[in-house]
A = this chain, B = another copy of it.
C-alpha cells in the first residue's frame, strides 16, 4: 500500500476551492457571452441559486481578510487581484526576480472596457498590485499612497499581458516604484508610477 502522506488543512482547502473558483470564473464569462435559449438560461439560473444556497449553509462573517495556514503562511484568498477563492481575480500570480515584480495574465470578456479592450480601471488594478508588490516586506505590507497611470495605447483582451514593476528609489518607509503593462508583441500600453508606504 502507498504511504499515507498527511495533508494539511490549507492544502485540503486549496484542492477544494481552487477548482470551484475556476468554474465560477467560467460562469462569469458565460453569463456575459451566452446566446443560449430562454429555457437553458432559466435552468442555469435555478442551478446557480441552488449552488449559492449550498455554499451559504455556513458563511464566515464579513470578508475573508488575512488568514494564516498552520505553518503561519499568510493566505489572502479573498483578494480581488490574487485571491484563490475570488472569482473576480484573474488571478494574478506575482513573481519576484532580480528586484522586479511581474505577472503574466490573459484577460477575457469579463475585463472589458472599450469594445475589445481591457478597461482602464482594470489596468490600474494590475499595476497598483504589481507596483505595490515591490514595496511589501515580510510582515510589513505596503499601502498605496499615490499612483499615476499613463495610457499610451489600447490594452487588448485575449492576449498574454505582462505587468512588471521595479523600485526606482526608497526613502524611509516610502517606496517609489515604476512599472508598465506590455502586450503580446512587447509593446508598452500603460506606464505607471506609485508611492507605497509601510506603516511604521
Residues of A bordering B, CB below 8 Å = 16-17, 19-21, 23-24, 26-28, 30-38, 40-45, 47-52, 54-60, 62-66, 77-81, 83, 85-88, 108-116, 119-122, 124-129, 132, 141, 143-151, 157-158
Contact = CB atoms under 8 A, between A and B. Distances in A.
A148 B151 contact: no
Nearest to A144: B120
Given A24-B48, A120-B147, A30 B43 contact: no
Given A31-B17, A150-B145, A41 B55 contact: yes
A59 B33 CA distance: 5
A121 B59 contact: no
Nearest to A42: B16
A33 B54 contact: no
Contact of A128 (B33, B63, B120, B146): B120
A9 to B, nearest CB: 12
A147 B128 CA distance: 12
8 contacts: A16-B42, A20-B44, A32-B83, A41-B54, A79-B119, A81-B121, A124-B149, A146-B150
A63 B114 CA distance: 11
Contacts of A45: 19-20, 23, 51
Given A40-B54, A124-B149, 20 more contacts: A26-B52, A27-B27, A30-B59, A31-B87, A32-B63, A33-B63, A36-B57, A37-B57, A43-B54, A47-B48, A80-B110, A80-B122, A86-B110, A120-B128, A120-B144, A120-B147, A121-B125, A124-B147, A146-B150, A147-B151
Given A27-B51, A54-B40, A79 B146 contact: no
A89 to B, nearest CB: 9
A3 B76 CA distance: 55
Q: Which of A86, A112, A116, A141: most chain B Cβ within 10 A? A: A112
